[in-house]
Structure formats: C-alpha cells, structure tokens
Amino acid sequence: MADQPDVEADARPRTDDSRSLIRGSFRTAFAETDSRLLQSYAVVAALLSALLATFVVLALPVWIFATVGGSEFATFSRAFLIVGGALLLAVLIGPVLSTARKHRRGTASARADLLAALAGYLFVASLYVSLLISAPPDAREAPPALLAPAVEFLYALPAVYALAPPALGIAAILAVHRLAR
C-alpha cells in the first residue's frame, strides 16, 4: 500500500495557488525572492497597475464621447487607448511575471531578481520622463532648483520624443528577461 498516493494530501487546498495568473505571480515573486528591491517593485507595480487600469476605464467613456461623430482616425484613437493601456500594464507587471516564472521553474537567482526590479523601476522612471516631455505648456510647473536644468531640457524637447524613454525602458526589461540568469 506504500505505492498508493495519499488521497487526503492531494485533496487539501494549496495556499500558494491562485486562480489568477497575475495575482499568483505577484504572490510567488513577493514570497520567493530574497530581494527587498524586487519585493518593493512588486508592491509598486501592483499599485501602479491598479491606478493605470482605473484611469483607462474612467477615460474610455470620456474619450468615446469626445470623438463621437468624428473621422475614422477618432475611432482608431479609441482603440489605441485600450491597446496602449494594456501594453503599459503588461510592461509594468512583466518583471514580476518573469521573476515568478523563474522561481517556479527553480532557475531564479538573486542577481536576476535584482536586475528585474531595477529594469522595472527604470521603466516607471521612463514613464515619468515621458510625461515631462509631453506635458502641455500650460500644465508645466516650475521645477525645484536642483532639478531645473534637467526638467527644462525635457520640457524643451518636441512631444514626439516622449516615446523614446518608455521604448528604452521596455528594451531594458526585455534584455534583463532574456539575459539575466
């Protein structure tokens, strides 16, 4: 009878499983890593993702109302809001998902966890830089004296340059996912 599996042990609910891949990955990444930086990024990414999802959901009706009766480009712009929001969410949670996957497979390392957290924070910073570049002139405030030269430089850039920082942040996350072992 020693060859028989323990049915009672298999019937017990597992506490580390989640029906949601994302929620389960956040739990795994937070619990399994020794990196405080990755744990903090998991919390920051969860909060920013919830905030971004809320903004997209709240902005969609306003955007639809503002573009009703417009051209085909207006219809395309509505779809872009959803696609762009989903892309940003995917990139924000990407380092956490990647780290959780590595921990589940047993291929995680402290170095990979640290690099994933750094790449995630770099992406968050790139979003802020992008917002500075694309800020309308009437919404710009005077920066603190210490940061004034850098912020003024970013304000002076054409708005199309706002795409570059997030693109570099995405490239960093992809590079860390691919190369950090």
- Per residue in 26-53, pLDDT tens? 998 889 889 999 999 999 999 999 999 9
Separation in Å, CA 175 to CA 12, 77, 172: 40, 30, 5
Tell me if 15 is assigned to some domain: no
Lowest mean pLDDT among 6-10, 52-56, 65-69, 85-89: 6-10
Residue 4 domain flag: no
- Give the pLDDT confidence score for residue 24 in this predicted structure: 87
Number of domains in the chain: 1
| Residue 79: pLDDT over 80 | no
C-alpha span between 131 and 125 (Å, rounded): 10
pLDDT value at residue 7? 44
Q: What does pLDDT average to over the chain? A: 85
Higher pLDDT among residues 153 and 66, named by residue = 153
The 3-state secondary structure of 13-60, one letter per residue:
CCCCCCCCHHHHHHHHHHHHCCCHHHHHHHHHHHHHHHHHHHHHHHHH
Tell me which residue range forms the domain holding 43. Answer: 22-179
Q: Tell me, yes or no, whether 170 lies in a domain.
A: yes
